[in-house]
């Protein structure tokens, strides 16, 4: 637009009815104006239509009179502002704040809006993208202090009883995307090693080793080695029995199906065991799986893991290798996990989501989801509930 151009912002509001937009532009067609921008929102039957014009070559009073006639004929309130600026198209300054609540209460919204304003974010639009299984609201605006705002809202989310994600741009769902998920306690509700330990009658022994690792006394590799050693002699046929006990997290099927229908790549990376996970991955249409491999000798578990052990560093490496395999930039990757083993992967991804995770994991992730519905992650990608249902 010519910097010397004169602009006119026309705003019509009132009860929605068919033909309003046609009436506005039919009236404007009699004038030598240029359309610069249009926004229209209908909320509960109430219409707000805003049109920004370049009126440099126009009789301004004549346009205003035409719009007054449109208002009279449609019963809408019409207001005009001369010299209104265009909205910013600076992609670097665009951001979205996604809020998930079950329920979502006014005090939480008040606190979030206050923090957004304190960080110099101008809110352009607020919209609901889902009503269930959680209420999901998206603030869209312009601001540059994304990391500061994210840190503040993440710290307050638990007290407010909501999950909050702050992201740049808000265009995650456009173009190719890679989503990499942890398995145990993320894609599924169970810990596979615990199910195997129960079948072997060594549940308490394995739990003690797990607790030792959680206290930092041994690292993940040593912990895994000791726990698998306790399974030595277990018939391999038990693996099929254990697989039948595995429970998918609520919303896991919907998440995977929706991501696939949007054309995204979906991969799994796990410190668990491929013999249990692979059939589940195939059922869900997963593109790639990286997990540990249990050695089987003469039809029984040997108590050893063969090949590379998938630990914290291995999970990040898998994310990077999957991205390279599908030629997807790291900025367009999403990692989802719950444990300390996922920290490096969450930090490396374009969007790291802590799913029902401990505070230490939530503090590192870009976003946290603390409701039990895994498909709520879709809302962080800007995918609405209507779009989820449309591709089922």
Whether 184 is catalytic: yes
- List residues bridging with 53 in a β-sheet: 8, 35
- DSSP letter for 247, please: -
Annotated catalytic residue: which of 16, 163, 182, 342?
Answer: 182
Q: Which of 266, 307, 306, 261 is nearest to 289 (CA)?
A: 266
Phi, psi of 91 (to 5 degrees): -60, -30
Give the active site residue among 184, 342, 344, 375: 184
Q: How far is CA 206 from CA 221, 234, 258, in A?
A: 14, 14, 36
Shortest CA distance to 213 belongs to which of 234, 236, 232, 193? 193
Distance CA 206, CA 187 (A): 22
Annotated catalytic residue 241? no
How are strands ordered across the β-sheet holding 7-15? 34-43, 46-54, 7-15, 77-82
Whole-number Å distance between alpha carbons of 329 and 349? 10
Helix locations, 123-216, DSSP H: 146-160, 192-200, 203-214
C-beta atoms surrounding 162 within 10 Å: 26
Task: Show which residues are catalytic.
Answer: 182, 184
């Amino acid at each position: 637009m010519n910097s010397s151009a004169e602009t006119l912002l026309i705003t019509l509001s009132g009860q929605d009815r068919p033909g309003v937009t046609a009436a506005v532009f039919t009236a404007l067609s009699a004038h030598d104006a240029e359309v610069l921008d249009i926004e229209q929102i209908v909320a509960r039957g109430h219409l707000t239509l805003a049109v920004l014009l370049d009126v440099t070559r126009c009789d301004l009073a004549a346009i205003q009179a035409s719009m007054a006639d449109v208002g009279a004929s449609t019963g809408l309130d019409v207001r005009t502002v001369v010299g209104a600026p265009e909205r910013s198209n600076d992609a670097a300054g665009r951001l979205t704040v996604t809020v998930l609540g079950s329920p979502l209460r006014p005090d939480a919204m008040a606190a979030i809006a206050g923090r957004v304003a304190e960080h110099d974010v101008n809110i352009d639009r607020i919209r609901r993208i889902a009503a269930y299984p959680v209420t999901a609201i998206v603030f869209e605006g312009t601001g540059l202090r994304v990391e500061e705002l994210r840190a503040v809202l993440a710290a307050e989310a638990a007290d407010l009883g909501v999950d909050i994600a702050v992201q740049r741009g808000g265009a995650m769902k456009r173009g190719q995307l890679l989503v990499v998920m942890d398995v145990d306690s993320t894609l599924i509700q169970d810990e596979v090693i615990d199910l195997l330990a129960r079948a072997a009658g060594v549940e308490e022994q394995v739990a003690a080793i797990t607790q030792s690792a959680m206290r930092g006394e041994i690292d993940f590799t040593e912990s895994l080695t000791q726990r698998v050693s306790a399974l030595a002699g277990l018939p391999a046929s038990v693996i099929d029995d254990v697989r039948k006990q595995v429970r998918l997290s609520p919303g896991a099927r919907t998440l995977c199906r929706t991501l696939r229908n949007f054309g995204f790549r979906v991969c799994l990376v796990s410190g668990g065991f491929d013999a249990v996970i692979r059939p589940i991955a195939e059922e869900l249409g997963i593109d790639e799986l990286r997990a540990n491999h249990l050695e089987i000798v003469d039809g029984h578990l040997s108590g050893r893991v063969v090949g590379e052990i998938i630990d914290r560093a291995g999970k990040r490496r898998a994310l990077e290798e999957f991205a390279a395999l599908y030629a997807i930039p790291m900025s367009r990757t999403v990692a989802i996990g719950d444990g300390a083993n996922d920290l490096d992967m969450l930090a490396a991804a374009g969007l790291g989501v802590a799913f029902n995770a401990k505070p230490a994991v939530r503090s590192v992730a870009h976003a946290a989801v603390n409701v039990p519905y895994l498909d709520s992650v879709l809302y962080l990608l800007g995918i609405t509930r209507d779009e989820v249902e449309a591709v089922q």
